[in-house]
Chains A and B, each alone.
Chain A
Amino acid sequence: MMSLDVTPGLGARLLAGDLGALARAATLVENGDPVGRAVVEGIYGRTGGADVVGVTGPPGAGKSTLIDALIDELRQRGRRVAAILIDPSSPISGGAVLGDRIRMSRWDRDPDVFIRSMAARGHPGGLASTTAGLIHLFDAAGFDPIIVETVGVGQGEIEVAHLAATTLLLQVPGLGDGVQAIKAGILEIGDIVAVNKADLPGAEELVGDLSMMVTGNERPAGWSTPILLTNATTGEGVPAVVDTIEAHRRYLDTSETGRLRRESAARSEVFGLLRQELERESPLHLQNKASLWHELIDDVVERKRTPSAVVATLLGRDGATCR
C-alpha cells in the first residue's frame, strides 16, 4: 500500500517524457503489480490516439528486420516510434531469451525510438497478457505509432488482430503450397500482407496465390487487403508498407470498421484482464478452502463431477456447494 503513494509521481514523470519512468512502469504492469495498474488508470484518459500496428507471421519471416526498416521510414517521416517485441517463454523453466532487439540496435541512441522486449510468460495467442497495458503507457508517453511484434506464429495465434488497429501479416516464399493459403486463421487477420524476402524464388507466385485468396476473404467494406512485396534487408518496398499503414489508419478513422475495431480491442482487453484475475484470484479465494478445491478436482478426475459443473460451483451458480 505504501508504494501506491508514489504512483502519481511515476505517472507524471512518464507523461513528462522520463524514459526511465516509462521503463519502470512497463515492468510493474508486466508483473501485474498493483502500482502498475494504478499508473495505467492514471494515464488511461490520455490514451487512444496512437496508431497500434501489429506485425505477425511465421518464425524467420523477417518480422524484426522489417520492423527495423519500418522504424527507419517512420523516423524519416518525423514519427516517434515504440516497438514491443514478444518472444516465447520456456514452458519448462519460465525463462526466455529475448533476441529481437539485435536487429534494431542502431536505434538505441535515438530518444524518439523506444524498444521493449517482452516474454509471453505462458500466454497463448502470440502476445503477453499485459501487452495492452504496455501499449497504453507508450501511447501516454507520446509514441505513435506503437508497433507490436508477435511471437513467430503458426496458424492460430491471431490475438494481435484484436489489439492492433492495423495488422501487418508477413509471409515468405517456400513455406508450402497454395493449400496453406486457403486454410482458415492467420491469413484472414491481415489488413495488409507483405511477402518478404522478395528476392527469393517464388515470391511473385506467392503474391498471386495470396491475392486470389484474400479477395475471397470476408473483409469489411471499403478496404481490400493489399499484398505488397518487401525486402526488409534492403528496405525495398518498405515506404509503400508505411503508406499503406497510414492509408488503413485513414480508412479506420472514417469508417464504421474503425469503431468496431476499437470496441473489439476494449472487449478483448477487458476479457484478458478478467481471465488474469480469475487465474490469480481463484486459488487465493480457495486458500481457506484448499480441501474443497482438491475435492472438486478429485471429483473431476473420478468422473463424479464434470469440469463445467465445477466452474458453476466456483462461480457460486449452483447456489449451495461453494459456500
Chain B
Amino acid sequence: MAESQSNPRTHPIRVLIAKPGLDGHDRGAKVMARALRDAGFEVVYTGLFQTPEMIAAAALQEDVDVVGLSILSGAHMALFPRIIDALRERGVDDVLIVAGGTIPDDDVQPLLDLGVSAVFGPGTSLSEAVRFIRQHAPVRHDVP
C-alpha cells in the first residue's frame, strides 16, 4: 500500500464512530464500522443518541485518531459545531473529523469550513472512505 509507506504506522488507526442526536438508524454506521475493521482499523462504536459532550468525552478517553459522525436526522448544522466545540474544550484538537449520512450538498462547504475534513454522502464507496481516512489520519510521532 503506497499510502502506508508515506504514513509510517506501527499500530492500528483508532476511529470513534458516533451517532449524534435523535435519529435511530445506525445501519450505515455499522456498515462503516465493519469496513474500517476489515481495513485493519480499531473502531470504537458509541451507539445511538449521543450528545456532543458524550462524543467528546468518548473521543478523549479512547484517544482516537479519527472521529466519524454518522447523521441522518438533518440536524448536522446544529450539532456538528457543538461537537467540534466540545472536542476543543477538552483539548482534543489533533483528531481527523469526518462525517457521513444524509447531508445536502449545500451544507458540505460550511461543514468543511467548521473543521470537518470530509463528508461522505450517500453513494460514497466504502473503499473511498477507508482510503481517505488512511491517508489523512494524523500520525503522532511526538507526545503532547
Contact = CB atoms under 8 A, between A and B. Distances in A.
Interface string B43-66: 111110010011001101111000
Contact of A20 (B14, B34, B92): B92
A3 to B, nearest CB: 5
A108 B53 CA distance: 8
Contacts of A95: 12, 36-43
A291 interface: no
A20 B40 CA distance: 25
Interface in A94-109: 94-99, 101-102, 105, 108-109
A2 B63 CA distance: 22
B1 interface: no
Contact of A105 (B14, B34, B46, B62): B46
Interface in A233-247: none
A24 B47 contact: no
Contact of B45 (A23, A24, A99, A121): A99
Given A96-B37, A97-B34, A119 B54 contact: no
Contacts, number: 102
Contacts of B54: 105, 108-109
Contacts of A9: 143
A30 to B, nearest CB: 8
Nearest to B35: A95
Q: Which among A7, A27, A92 has the greatest number of chain B C-beta atoms within 10 A? A: A27
Nearest to A106: B54
B142 A6 contact: yes
Interface string A77-105: 00000000000011011111111011001
A101 B90 contact: no
Contact of B46 (A21, A92, A101): A101
A98 B50 CA distance: 16
A20 B143 contact: no
A215 interface: no
A7 to B, nearest CB: 7
Contact of B57 (A98, A102, A109): A109
Interface in B55-97: 57-58, 60-63, 90-92
Interface residues of B, number: 34
Contact of A101 (B38, B58, B63, B91): B58
A7 B143 contact: yes
Interface string A17-42: 00111011011101100010000000
Contact of A26 (B36, B63, B141): B63
Contacts of B58: 101, 105, 108, 115
Interface in A13-69: 19-21, 23-24, 26-28, 30-31, 35
A146 to B, nearest CB: 14
A10 interface: yes
B6 interface: no
Contacts of A89: 42
B27 interface: no
Contacts of A94: 12, 40
B61 A116 contact: yes
Interface of B: 10-12, 14, 33-34, 36-47, 50, 53-54, 57-58, 60-63, 90-92, 141-144
Given A20-B144, A89-B42, 17 more contacts: A3-B141, A3-B142, A3-B143, A90-B38, A94-B40, A95-B12, A95-B36, A95-B40, A95-B42, A97-B33, A98-B44, A98-B45, A99-B47, A102-B46, A108-B53, A115-B58, A116-B61
16 contacts: A10-B144, A19-B60, A24-B63, A90-B37, A94-B40, A97-B33, A99-B44, A101-B44, A105-B47, A105-B50, A105-B54, A105-B58, A108-B58, A109-B57, A116-B61, A117-B62
Interface of A: 2-3, 6-7, 9-10, 19-21, 23-24, 26-28, 30-31, 35, 89-90, 92-99, 101-102, 105, 108-109, 114-117, 119, 121
Q: Which 9 A-B pairs have the closest CB atoms?
A: A102-B47, A95-B37, A23-B63, A108-B54, A108-B57, A31-B11, A27-B63, A95-B40, A93-B40
